[in-house]
Chains A and B, each alone.
Chain A
Amino acid sequence: MDMQIVWLKMAIGAKKGQKQYTIHRVNYGNTTHEAILEGVQAASTFSAADSELIIRHFADVVEEKLSSGHPVDLGPLGTLHPNITAKSVDTKEQCTAKTITNKGITYYPRAELTEALSKMSLRVINSEVRGRKHKKKTSESDEE
């Protein structure tokens, strides 16, 4: 996998505001839904319309299950879990729905997948160091 050295300004922590260097994955664009569909179709007897229908229903079912609080098993990929973020309070009575600040989805990859990924070979492809724009401080990262 191709990697590149980037610099960024730290937004939090002991080194807040300091310029730091790290390595990031070079993103050449994602494999599209159509390419995935083509690969699966080659190994199945379903027509393109049927395959598309199954995937659409699959996304709907996953959404319904997650929205009703159930984690979803995605086989070789791992699991998706609904999660909440909440503020801590001093007493049990104060702990109401109002303390919940966010709701989201957490992905836990399967151990076999993580193990396979950890064996992946990495290489730094470009010696040119690029800045990484921080969401809140875009003007500062435009310096280089």
Chain B
Amino acid sequence: MAKNKYFTYEPRQRKILGNEKWIATLKKEEMCSTKEIAEEIAYRSTIGAGEVEGFLIALLEEVKYHLIAGDGVRVNGLGTFYPRVICKTVDDVKDASLKNCVKNITAGFRPESQLRESVKEVKMKKFDLTEYINPKENR
């Protein structure tokens, strides 16, 4: 996987309000699995990858357990996971009931400021097909 800190974008044609427009979209990259993260952590420490992976799964399961119990959960360096209730509004206070307002319950995530800022500082690079065909020659 690329170590460079940049996002690759490519222009895509989209129909916006009936008009054909061009918009920059993020080029899809390979998904990084929990196993790969564990291997990376093991490489930086003296702990085995299998043990790290087991720990990470236990950590994420613990976060899930608290989320299902209705609590927000803060993980240092990452952010806060919280149960998110999607509601609609009503004109009268008498109509404001669970049945009328609640549309869906899902989970939300608020990244920590450091993580958010780190992503905001990433530079943008236009997608170049030749780089993908022969990356060694072009980098």
Contact = CB atoms under 8 A, between A and B. Distances in A.
B76 interface: yes
A56 B115 CA distance: 12
A58 B67 CA distance: 20
A71 B102 CA distance: 30
Interface residues of A, number: 90
Contacts of A70: 1, 29-32
B61 A76 contact: yes
A23 B22 contact: no
Given A21-B96, A117-B105, A122-B98, A3 B34 contact: no
A105 to B, nearest CB: 5
B41 A61 contact: yes
Interface residues of B, number: 94
B11 A23 contact: no
Given A46-B55, A68-B5, A30 B115 contact: no
Given A57-B44, A89-B21, A97-B9, A21 B104 contact: no
B14 to A, nearest CB: 7
Contacts of A8: 89
A39 B51 CA distance: 17
B3 A74 contact: no
12 contacts: A21-B91, A23-B85, A40-B55, A54-B55, A61-B41, A63-B114, A67-B119, A69-B7, A84-B24, A88-B22, A95-B22, A109-B106
